[in-house]
Structure 1
Amino acid sequence: MTDDHQAAYRQANTQFDRFSSLISKCRSGSAIAFGLLVIFGIAFWQIGQSLATN
């Protein structure tokens, strides 16, 4: 591996570490957020359907 490859690899690793730490922080809240997202998505879809039919 060249220096450029090692730098890119290191950067990818730090990005991945940051991402995984973010995910572990959000793990507890993500279930709630996902549930809310699904509920809102269904609600908006229902509203959209009713508006489309009228």
Structure 2
Amino acid sequence: MSYPFTCVLMFQLLIFHLTCPSHKRYAAKKKEKQEKGIRDREHREKDMRKI
């Protein structure tokens, strides 16, 4: 009974270790993209006010 559970646990741990660094990198990239999007929007709003 306990053997399959341990196997699953080890498998999940392996998956986590494989995906964790790439996930962090992905999250950082996503955050960077969001910040850039906010900056771009602010610039557009300034341009609209100028016109």
- State the TM-score, normalizing by the size of structure 1: 0.53
- Partner Cα separation in structure 2 for residue 33 and residue 21 of structure 1: 18
- Counterpart of 1:7 in structure 2 is none
Larger Rg: 2
**More displaced stretch, 26-35 vs 37-46:** 26-35
- Partner Cα separation in structure 2 for residue 23 and residue 36 of structure 1: 21
- Counterpart of 1:11 in structure 2 is none
% identical aligned pairs: 0
Unaligned 5+ runs, structure 2: 41-51
- 1:24 to 2:10 alignment: yes
- Give the root-mean-square deviation of aligned CA atoms: 2.0
- Partner Cα separation in structure 2 for residue 29 and residue 21 of structure 1: 12
Matches within 5 A, 1:1-12: none
Q: In structure 2, the residue corresponding to 1:37 is in which secondary structure?
A: helix
Unaligned 5+ runs, structure 1: 1-16
Aligned residues: 37
- State the TM-score, normalizing by the size of structure 2: 0.56
